[in-house]
A and B are shown apart, each in its own frame.
Chain A
Amino acid sequence: MTTARPMRRFLAPLAFALTLITASLAATLPAAAGDAAAEAFVNEISVKAIDIISNKTLGRADRETAFGALLDANADMPKIAAFALGQYVRLPTPEQKAKYLTLVRTFVIKVYVTRLSDYHNEKLVVTGSQAKGTNQALVDSQINFTNGREPVKVTWWLVKDATGAYRIFDVNVVGIWLAQEQRSSFTSVIANNGGKFDALINDLTTKVASADAAK
């Protein structure tokens, strides 16, 4: 048969391409399925956070208190605080550690209430998620603006606590991981002050105080 051979020549690569497409689809399917629990968690947090920020009847102190409560309930602060110390995680004495944990919590609340103050009544829409290992997940989302501004991409890095519930470990806004940003400056302060942990405690105390004064 003279027609069968060109036919086969055409079909073989086609079959190969189909196999490839099926294989790659199969590989992406688990990721595409996402993690419904993680997505629901992010949805819930974002609604609460936006409520706090856009509630103009709250004063700054009230807003900080509400934001702090949200953070305590939903973020893994000790893990974030440990991560932000980088290589110096075992440097602080128990007293310094206790002081540091309190300061870092206040600092984070003040920083993000300030940084988020530009947002009003925006909506955060979850766009997808993927599991990372057995007890972490990454949730993609974007903030849509009503005034035609380009949407801002936000990725949430969640980690399960001892009870198996998700908690926030880090948040990525337009490509910047916020805990990594803090880690860079915290470790830099310690390294540039002869490896003294108290230098970081002093700097954090000053920053928190000046944020209070600027109100």
Chain B
Amino acid sequence: MTDHNMNSVARILNQSAKVAGLALMLSLAACATRPDPANPAAVQAYKEANDPIEPLNRYFFELNRFFDIILIKPVATWYDGVIPDRGKQGVRNVLDNLRSFVVVANDSLQGQWSQAGSDATRFGINTTVGVLGIFDPATGWGYPQHREDLGQTFGTYGIPEGPYFYVPILGPSPPRDLIGYFGDSLFDPLTYIYWDGPYTVPVTRAVLNGIDVRARNLGTLDQIERTSVDFYSTVRSLYRQSRNNEINNGKSDVDNLPDIDNLNFDTNEPQAVSPQ
């Protein structure tokens, strides 16, 4: 490519970035649909949803669904049907094993030292005896898998997730979890080893991970879509609830449940609960 060509390509890219940025800002501005302040129920519902850029989020949600329908779901369905169960489990094990550094880092940041030790041992066993993580003998030997990430770590520090964001490709990513997502990549050795190259390893890993996650949720997501009145807000609720559950490591938090003692249609004041 000549210099001239390069320049014009750069100019076009630069211009389209500006146009995209402008469009984004305009749509963000258009999104600020605040509820009628004279209607207390609407104001409360708005606060409970904690989704100030909902129209934009819904747009990205639909965009992701479009890509899901034309590309991700067909590939995941193919993967699910063609690859034998043992192969899929091997892929899943390798991907999980690669995340060990992030998990151990976050175990430590949460002060869960025994879990950090267990997860480090698990990595050692599965990388060697488990042949680079393809097999998972560690679970049977008393070193079960844990899922930790920086967003959860922030959650254990008491940092709230912030307003809901739905990001293209990544999906639900409120600020706390979005920052956590990028922070986690700093704990990941693969980030440093392959960052300068043609990105083959991180890209392959991300794509494979996406296909695998989608393939394991084919039935579940279909069912949720069919059985919900509003798929977008159902996913929002499921995301928030499962994140809170992960942050509490599966222990139910009795004191944080909404107060339902006097709840009924006629006498009850509307109940305030945390955003769901």
Per the bound structure, the CA–CA distance linking A191 and B254 in Å amounts to 29
A186 CA to B227 CA in the complex, in Å? 13
Given A155-B252, A175-B246, A191-B49, A87 contacting B260 (CB threshold 8 A) = no
Q: Which of A10-18, A33-41, A49-57, A89-97 interfaces with chain B? A: A89-97
A169 within 8 A of B: yes
Interface members, chain B 191-250 (any A CB < 8 Å): 219, 223, 226-230, 232-234, 236-238, 241-242, 244-246, 250
B263 located at the interface, meaning its Cβ lies under 8 Å from any Cβ of chain A in the complex: yes
Residues of A within 8 A of B (CB): 78-79, 82-83, 86-92, 97, 107, 110-111, 114-115, 118, 130, 132-133, 135-136, 138, 140, 153, 155, 157, 159, 169, 172, 174-177, 180-192, 195, 200, 203-204, 207, 211, 214
Check if B45 sits within 8 Å of A114, measured CB to CB: no
> Is B44 in the interface zone, CB < 8 Å from A?
yes
Is the beta-carbon distance between B263 and A79 smaller than 8 angstroms? yes
Q: Is B260 a contact of A159 with CB atoms below 8 Å?
A: yes
Taking a contact as CB atoms under 8 Å apart, the answer to whether A185 and B271 are in contact is no
Distance of A84 from chain B, by nearest CB (Å): 10
Cross-chain pair count, CB within 8 angstroms: 140
Supposing A130-B254, A180-B237, A185-B228 touch, asked if A86 and B39 sit within 8 A by C-beta, the answer is no
B35 at the interface (CB under 8 A from A): yes
A75 CA to B236 CA in the complex, in Å? 26
A87 and B49 CA atoms in complex are apart in Å by 11
- Shortest CB–CB separation between residue B265 and chain A, in angstroms? 5
B59 CB to closest chain A CB, in angstroms? 13
Cβ–Cβ < 8 Å partners of B42 in chain A: 87, 191, 195
B-side interface residues, number (CB < 8 Å): 46
Residues of B with C-beta under 8 A to A185: 228-230, 233-234, 237
- A169 vs chain B, min Cβ distance (A): 6
Measured CB to CB, the closest approach of chain A to B102, in angstroms, equals 21
* Residues of chain B whose beta carbon lies under 8 Å from any beta carbon of chain A: 35-36, 39-42, 44-46, 48-49, 54, 219, 223, 226-230, 232-234, 236-238, 241-242, 244-246, 250, 252, 254, 257-258, 260-261, 263-266, 268, 270-271, 273, 276
Residues of B within 8 A of A87 (CB): 40-42, 44-45, 48, 270
Which 5 pairs from chain A and chain B are nearest by CB?
A175-B245, A184-B237, A188-B233, A87-B44, A185-B230
Contact A82 B265 (CB under 8 A): yes
In the assembly, what is the distance between CA of A137 and CA of B235, in Å?
Answer: 28
A107 to B234, CA, bound (A): 15
A200 vs B273: C-alpha distance when bound (angstroms): 21
Best-buried of A177, A181, A192, A214 by chain B (most CB within 10 Å) = A181
> Residues of B contacting A192 with CB < 8 Å?
54, 230
Complex interface: chain A residues within 8 A of B261 (CB): 133, 135-136
